[in-house]
Each structure stands twice: as C-alpha cells, then as structure tokens.
Amino acid sequence: MGVESIQVKYDMARQHLDQCQKILHANPHDTIASSQEYQANKEYREVASQYYSWLQQKAKIHWLQAGDSNSKIIYNSLKTRTNKNTVK
C-alpha cells in the first residue's frame, strides 16, 4: 500500500462517514441510515488507525534521518550529572 493510497483511503472514508452522518441527522429514526453510519464509522476507525500509524512511522523516519540537534547536549549533561552523583 503506497503513501497516496493511505491518504486517499483516509479522505474517502472520512467523506463517506460525513455523508452517512448527514443523512442520519436528517432522518434520525431511519434504521438503514443508522446501520450505514455504523459501518462507515467502523471503516473510518480502521483506516484512521492505519493512517495515524503511517504518520507516526513517517515522523520517526524523519527524526532518525534529520536527527535531534539537542541529543549531544542532553546526553553529555546526563553523563556529567551521573558522574557527579556517583559515589566513589
């Protein structure tokens, strides 16, 4: 599954859910609309979970590639603090 397909599936699932919710809002006692909204919500949650997982992976890859400019400073300060607090 490519990047575009995840984003497209997410957008389509969100639009479908919005349409089902509008129909259900107009006819709150319609059981068919209610079941369609339930299914659309279920599908949206599944696709959203995949999409958010992909976003987290993308952010992690970006962080690993770009690095964190403060990492060296933080680790040096932790090392200094650990050495300072160690009983000799």
Amino acid at 8: V
CB neighbourhood size of 13 (10 A):
21
pLDDT number for residue 2:
65
Say if residue 1's pLDDT is above 60. Answer: no
pLDDT number for residue 9:
94
Percent of the chain with pLDDT over 70: 90
- Does the global pTM surpass 0.85? no
pLDDT tens digit sequence for 34-58: 999 999 999 999 999 999 999 898 8
Amino acid at 57: Q
pLDDT tens digit sequence for 59-76: 888 777 776 666 777 778
| Cα–Cα dist 40/24, whole Å | 12
* Structural domain boundaries, residue 39: 3-85
What is the number of domains present in the chain? Answer: 1
